C-alpha cells in the first residue's frame, strides 16, 4: 500500500499515563476497575479561601525520579507528566529508535493550559524580587508545545512535532491529528496525547469565579458524579495520557503488539457559545457521526462510549441528548461511562487518558464504571455502567471530548 494512502490503517501499540489513581497504566487500570477515585482536598496550595477546595492531584510524585533532575528543575509540572507518560508509552510499544528512521517518528503532546505553575511562580518573582530575578527558563517552561519538543529531543524524533491547544478537546485532537499525519504519509510512528497540571491557585480562582467547579468540599470522594441528579460542577484533575500510534504495516513489520486500531476521528465546532455546549448537541452529534463514517462504521456497530461526562449540569444533559440523536434506538443498548468520576477532569489531558482507557477496554473486555451515580438525572437516561465495572465483549469504542470555545472531538477505536 502507498505510504500516503488515505486508507492507511493506524494502530495503537503503546500506552502511558500519570494520574491521581495510578502513575502507570497497570495501577491506573486496576484503580478504574475497582471504582477507586483519586479526588481529595487540595494539598499543592492552601485552598481555604476558594469555593472549590478539592481536586484529583498526582500525589507521592517526584519528577526527578523519572527524568533527568536538571530537566525536571527547568520544566513545568505539566511537562513532567507528559514526558513520563510518553516514556512509558514508547517502552510499552517496544519502540527502538536505533532501528527507526528518526525522520519518520513524530511527537504531538498537547496541553489545554500549559505551564501554569511556571506562569504563577515567575509572576510572583517579578512582583517580589524584580525583573532580573525572573528565570531564563520561564518561556520554554510555560509554553504549551514544550512537552512535545523535550520528548522529541529525548528520543531523537525528527518528524512532525508541535503542541495542540483546544481546551478540553486537546488530547483527542492531538491523537486524531497525529493519525492524519500517518495516513497521509508524513510519519510512520507518532507519540501523541495530552498533559495538564492546572491545580494552581490562579486556575482554581478563575474556574471558581465562573462557578464551574463542584463545592462538595465535605465529601470529595463523592463530588464528581456524572449524570447524577446531584452533580454540581467538575473536579480538576492533573496528569497525562500518551499513546504510540503507527501504521499497521509498520507495526506488523517490527512485530509490535497491537492494542487496537484508531479507526476514525472527527473535529467540529458548536459555533454557539464560548463555554456552554450547544443545547441541541449539534456539534457533538456531527463529530460522532463523522468519526464513525471515517471508520466505516454504522452507529449500531459501536459497543461502548467513553463519555466526556464532566459532572456539570449542562454537559451531561446535552451529551446524553447528542448520543440519543446519533444512535437512536441503539443508544439504549450502548454502555456509556464517565471515568472522570474517578480521575477528575484533566482538561487538555482528558482525551489522552480516556483513549488509553478505550484501548484497555478493547484489550481486556472490561468496562470501567461511572462511580457516584446514585440518583440518576431523568434527563440522563442511558446505561452509564453505574458504580461497578462490567465484563463485556467490546470490539468498537467511541470517545468524546468537548472544549471551551465550542470545540468537539470524537475518536473511534476498533479491535484488530
3-class DSSP string for 15-74? EEEEECCECCHHHHHHHHHCCCCCCEECCCCCCCCCCCCEEECCCCCCHHHCCCHHHHHH
Report the chain's mean pLDDT, rounded to a whole number.
Answer: 96
Q: Is the pLDDT of residue 351 over 90?
A: yes
C-alpha grid cell for residue 153? 529531543
Q: Is the pLDDT of residue 97 over 80?
A: yes
Q: Is the pLDDT of residue 170 over 70?
A: yes
What is the pLDDT, as a whole number, of residue 6? 59
What is the pLDDT, as a whole number, of residue 274? 87
Q: Which is catalytic among the residues 52, 147, 168, 380?
A: 168
Those residues whose C-beta lies under 8 Å from the C-beta of residue 91, and which sit 6 or more positions away, are 14, 16
pLDDT band at 1 (very low <50, low <70, confident <90, very high): very low
Averaged pLDDT for residues 213-224: 97
Common-topology check for domains 10-253 and 265-414: yes
Those residues whose C-beta lies under 8 Å from the C-beta of residue 132, and which sit 6 or more positions away, are none
- Which among 21, 23, 51, 14 is positioned nearest to 36, based on CA atoms? 21
What is the pLDDT, as a whole number, of residue 164? 95
CA distances from 115 to 6, 138, 147 (A): 35, 9, 10
What is the pLDDT, as a whole number, of residue 157? 98
State whether CATH 2.60.40.10 applies to domain 10-253.
no
In the DSSP assignment, the letter for residue 400 is: E
112 versus 279: the higher-pLDDT residue is 112
Q: Which is catalytic among the residues 147, 250, 345, 358?
A: 345
What is the pLDDT, as a whole number, of residue 250? 98
Q: Which is catalytic among the residues 23, 80, 173, 308?
A: 308
- Cα–Cα distance measured from residue 225 to residue 221, given in angstroms and rounded to the nearest whole number: 10
- Which among 241, 79, 108, 105 is positioned nearest to 176, based on CA atoms? 108
Q: Is the pLDDT of residue 7 over 80?
A: no
Averaged pLDDT for residues 373-396: 97
Those residues whose C-beta lies under 8 Å from the C-beta of residue 331, and which sit 6 or more positions away, are 323, 324, 382
Phi, psi angles (nearest 5°) of residue 174: -60, -45
Pairing of strands 304-306, 105-110: unpaired
Q: Are 113 and 198 in contact (CB under 8 A)?
A: yes
* 168 labelled catalytic: yes
* 345 labelled catalytic: yes
Averaged pLDDT for residues 162-170: 96
pTM score of the predicted model: 0.96
Averaged pLDDT for residues 306-314: 96
pLDDT band at 275 (very low <50, low <70, confident <90, very high): confident
* 308 labelled catalytic: yes
Residues 265-414: name the CATH superfamily.
Thiolase/Chalcone synthase (3.40.47.10)
Q: DSSP states of 351-392 as a string?
A: HHHHHHHHHHHHHH-EE--BTT--SB-TT--SB--BSS-EE-
Pairing of strands 161-162, 105-110: parallel
Q: DSSP states of 248-262 as a string?
A: HHHHHHTT----EEE
pLDDT band at 82 (very low <50, low <70, confident <90, very high): very high
Averaged pLDDT for residues 57-79: 96
What is the pLDDT, as a whole number, of residue 181? 98
Domain map (residue ranges) of the chain: 10-253, 265-414
Neighbours of 105 (CB within 10 A): 25
Averaged pLDDT for residues 235-259: 98
pLDDT band at 277 (very low <50, low <70, confident <90, very high): confident
What is the pLDDT, as a whole number, of residue 5? 55
Amino acid at each position: 500500500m502507498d505510504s500516503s494512502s488515505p486508507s492507511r490503517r493506524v494502530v495503537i501499540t503503546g500506552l502511558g499515563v500519570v494520574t491521581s489513581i495510578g502513575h502507570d497504566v497497570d495501577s491506573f487500570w486496576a484503580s478504574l476497575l475497582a471504582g477507586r477515585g483519586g479526588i481529595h482536598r487540595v494539598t499543592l496550595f492552601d485552598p481555604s479561601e476558594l469555593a472549590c477546595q478539592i481536586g484529583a492531584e498526582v500525589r507521592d510524585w517526584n519528577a526527578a525520579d523519572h527524568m533527568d533532575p536538571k530537566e525536571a528543575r527547568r520544566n513545568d509540572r505539566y511537562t513532567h507528566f507528559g514526558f513520563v507518560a510518553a516514556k512509558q508509552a514508547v517502552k510499552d510499544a517496544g519502540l527502538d529508535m536505533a532501528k527507526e528512521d528518526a525522520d519518520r517518528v513524530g511527537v504531538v503532546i498537547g496541553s489545554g493550559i500549559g505551564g501554569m505553575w511556571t506562569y504563577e511562580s515567575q509572576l510572583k518573582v517579578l512582583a517580589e524580587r524584580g525583573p532580573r530575578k525572573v528565570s531564563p527558563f520561564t518561556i520554554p517552561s510555560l509554553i504549551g508545545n514544550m512537552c512535545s519538543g523535550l520528548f522529541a529531543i529525548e528520543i531523537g524524533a525528527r518528524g512532525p512535532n508541535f503542541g495542540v491547544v483546544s481546551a478540553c478537546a486537546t488530547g483527542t485532537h492531538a491523537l486524531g491529528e497525529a493519525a492524519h499525519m500517518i495516513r497521509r504519509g508524513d510519519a510512520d510512528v507518532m507519540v501523541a496525547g495530552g498533559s495538564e497540571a492546572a491545580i494552581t491557585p490562579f486556575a482554581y480562582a478563575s474556574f471558581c469565579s465562573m462557578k464551574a467547579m463542584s463545592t462538595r468540599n465535605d465529601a470529595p470522594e463523592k463530588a464528581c458524579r456524572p449524570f447524577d441528579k446531584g452533580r454540581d460542577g467538575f473536579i480538576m484533575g492533573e496528569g497525562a495520557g500518551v499513546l504510540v500510534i503507527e501504521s499497521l504495516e509498520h507495526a506488523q513489520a517490527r512485530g509490535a503488539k497491537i492494542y487496537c486500531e484508531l479507526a476514525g476521528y472527527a473535529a467540529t465546532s458548536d459555533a454557539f457559545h464560548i463555554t456552554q455546549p450547544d443545547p441541541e448537541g449539534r456539534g457533538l452529534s456531527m463529530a460522532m457521526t463523522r468519526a464513525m463514517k471515517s471508520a466505516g462504521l454504522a452507529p449500531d456497530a459501536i459497543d461502548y462510549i467513553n463519555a466526556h461526562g464532566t459532572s456539570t449540569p449542562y454537559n451531561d444533559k446535552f451529551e446524553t441528548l447528542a448520543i440519543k440523536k446519533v444512535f437512536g434506538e441503539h443508544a439504549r443498548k450502548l454502555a456509556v461511562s464517565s471515568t472522570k468520576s474517578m480521575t477528575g477532569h484533566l482538561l487538555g489531558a482528558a482525551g489522552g487518558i480516556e483513549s488509553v482507557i478505550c484501548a484497555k477496554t478493547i484489550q481486556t473486555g472490561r468496562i470501567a464504571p461511572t462511580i457516584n451515580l446514585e440518583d440518576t438525572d431523568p434527563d440522563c437516561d442511558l446505561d452509564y455502567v453505574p458504580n461497578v465495572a462490567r465484563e463485556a465483549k467490546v470490539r468498537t469504542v467511541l470517545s468524546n471530548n468537548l472544549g471551551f470555545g465550542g470545540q468537539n472531538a470524537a475518536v473511534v477505536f476498533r479491535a484488530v
